[in-house]
Amino acid sequence: MKLAEMTSFEVDKLSRDIVVLLPVAALEQHSRHLPVFTDSILCGTIAEAVEANLPKDVLLLPVLWTGASSHHLDFAGTVSIELDTYVEMLCQILRSLLEHGFKKAFILNGHGGNLDPIQVALRLLSREYPQANLAGGNYWFIAGDSIANILTGPRKVVGHACEMETSGIMAVRPDLVRKTLIRDDPQQDDPRLVGTFVPYDMKRHTKRGGIGHATQASAAKGKRLMAAIIADVTAVVKATRQGATRGPGTSRKKGK
């Protein structure tokens, strides 16, 4: 079910045990060959497919198209929300549904910079609504193994305007890919810094605003990637619907 297409009366009649699915992404530069709406297109496509797979189990919200993208702001066309504001946005959006009795929510993330505020928001909401089953995750973490098995370039995780994202847009919106401008933009990681966090600025640390090997992309690969990601995310949302929880262990933190 898609919230945006329902009436208030219809929403009020829904079971409060379904999963409120909030896809969040970004409006930011994606190198020279992909549109600034890349993250929102891909995350929105995945979320809509999950809702189509689980129409009686999911209440899908419209994709939140802007995110925490300050590390992209030196590139024109990027729109970013400050971290504290973004945390509060996420809290207020989900609080609106939780206050009406919905008990399960999942934030599906399509932009790496959103992960930290998502986790903060979920921690805050879990204190306000201790009986709620709240969760969230990046689609490329959820489908990490599936993605790695399909990628053919040297980088086996999602980067930025990379093999995966370029393939994905080639599959769902090929008209938006500037194919003559596709170039690789390998990430230069110093092995001595493994395990550390470095605040990454895309203008200073990349050649074209990308991370990865976009020349390896293809529409056929994009169709395989999107199908695999949708299947993996569907399984996680279904588990959330069934009441599954996990302990305090850490998530896979690779890519993007």
Nearest partner of 149 among 225, 230, 255, judged by Cα: 225
Rounded CA-CA distance 251/256 in Å is 14
Place of tokens 């847009």: 169
Architecture of domain 3-188+198-241: 3-Layer(aba) Sandwich (3.40)
CA 43 to CA 250: how far, in whole Å?
22
The answer to whether 185 and 209 are in contact (CB under 8 A) is: yes
Start-to-end CA distance of the chain, whole Å, equals: 30
**Dihedral (C-alpha) 64, 86, 203, 170: value to the nearest 10 degrees?**
-10
Q: What is the pTM of this model?
A: 0.94
| Euclidean distance between CA atoms 229 and 108, whole angstroms | 12
Instruction: Tell me the angle at which helices 38-53 and 163-172 cross, rounded to the nearest 10 degrees.
Output: 70
pLDDT of res. 80: 98
Which pLDDT score is estimated for 255? 55
Report pLDDT for 63. Answer: 98
Low-confidence stretches of the chain (pLDDT beneath 50): 253-254
Check residue 245 and give its pLDDT: 77
Question: Residue 253: what pLDDT?
Answer: 47
Q: Which of 65, 70, 23 is nearest to 47 (CA)?
A: 23
Contact 63, 25 (CB under 8 A): yes
Instruction: Compute the distance between CA of residue 140 and CA of residue 229 in angstroms, rounded to an integer.
Output: 8
